[in-house]
Structure 1
């Protein structure tokens, strides 16, 4: 190879090296921050205390049974509604014994008005309640002295209920030895989402 070619290749190599070195030594300021974020879901935890509201035997037409129980919000989220659904099974008779057991009232003591109690259920048979889903924690009185509807986290509502074996004034001998196994399901609903 000639000196001119060697010198040309050397100059080309030097120019390429300078270009690479110049491009690789670009200086700038830098700063990095890292954030650590958490999303934790709350809990809905409704409890009924006691879990057996009523357990009676040897009933006769005309008997009535008052009971009280608590709905407790043991979760971390507020509850907007507690919907009550009724189901039952009968035994010992071919007749629907649920038509003879009446809930005279179901009252939320914490949501009732001062002058007049406001009942979640007013005079309905178990048979009629099967087609309803009343809200057990709704303030129906609209009284300024009663708690607002819903059940805040960490609180409880006291409920009073009265059952009656209705004496219809007719022959009810076909109900002797009959029984009703009542299942009340309390379904808690969360409050609406909000800006956090």
Structure 2
């Protein structure tokens, strides 16, 4: 074989080597895995139920006692840390001949709270020192009314709940400050108020998941 022929084969072999390097290498075996995560927010759901009677009472007179009970329950899938409770009043002065006093605080002060209980927890003692009027309840800052450390999330058909019981008395006072035979409480005849009982549930703190 001549020298020129040998050199030509050498150049061809070199070009082929460069082509292989430039094209890269391939493996026949391969394995691909995918990890998927779904992030969804829970549902915080506080429900009210099992009210024993209507909260509305008409034609009250001094000496009447009102007892009501109802449940607060966790109907969601998120643990509840506390249930904050507060009361709003929408006062309406009456137009009775002997009444119609326009002092909302004085009128609400005629109603003593004898009992405010949450599944055995004496809320009246815990937050008011044992005695309070509806006026005190309306003016108070929101407070936790749950019986213990909140409510666990709903488990199947089971719902963690508390029964709230309240007893209110329209106090009877026959004082006659003016000495004219008219009782002082006559001034409240015809007065009324609409009470809104507000409940705000808050979640328990987050945790590593």
Normalization by structure 1: what TM-score?
Answer: 0.76
Runs of 4+ in 1 over 3 A off after TM superposition: 13-18, 27-30, 50-53
Aligned to 1:128: 136
Aligned to 2:191: 178
Task: Specify whether residues 88 and 20 from structure 1 end up closer, same or farther in structure 2 by C-alpha distance, changes over 3 A only.
Answer: farther
Task: Specify whether residues 20 and 162 from structure 1 end up closer, same or farther in structure 2 by C-alpha distance, changes over 3 A only.
Answer: farther
Task: Specify whether residues 86 and 50 from structure 1 end up closer, same or farther in structure 2 by C-alpha distance, changes over 3 A only.
Answer: same
Task: Specify whether residues 164 and 14 from structure 1 end up closer, same or farther in structure 2 by C-alpha distance, changes over 3 A only.
Answer: farther
Normalization by structure 2: what TM-score?
Answer: 0.72
Task: Specify whether residues 86 and 135 from structure 1 end up closer, same or farther in structure 2 by C-alpha distance, changes over 3 A only.
Answer: same
Count of matched residue pairs: 173
Alignment map for 1:18-167 (pairs within 5 Å) = 18-28=17-27, 30-50=30-50, 54-91=55-92, 92=94, 93=100, 94-96=102-104, 97-109=107-119, 112=120, 118-121=121-124, 122-129=130-137, 130-139=139-148, 149-153=149-153, 154-167=159-172
**1:174 counterpart SS class:** helix
| RMSD between superposed Cα atoms in Å | 2.6
Task: Specify whether residues 100 and 21 from structure 1 end up closer, same or farther in structure 2 by C-alpha distance, changes over 3 A only.
Answer: same
Give the unaligned 5+ runs of structure 1.
1-6, 113-117, 140-148
Distance 1:186 1:107 in 2: 15
Contact kept? 2:147, 2:162, Cα under 8 Å:
no
Task: Specify whether residues 26 and 175 from structure 1 end up closer, same or farther in structure 2 by C-alpha distance, changes over 3 A only.
Answer: same
Distance 1:20 1:107 in 2: 88
Task: Specify whether residues 23 and 30 from structure 1 end up closer, same or farther in structure 2 by C-alpha distance, changes over 3 A only.
Answer: farther
Structure in which a larger fraction of residues adopt helix: 2
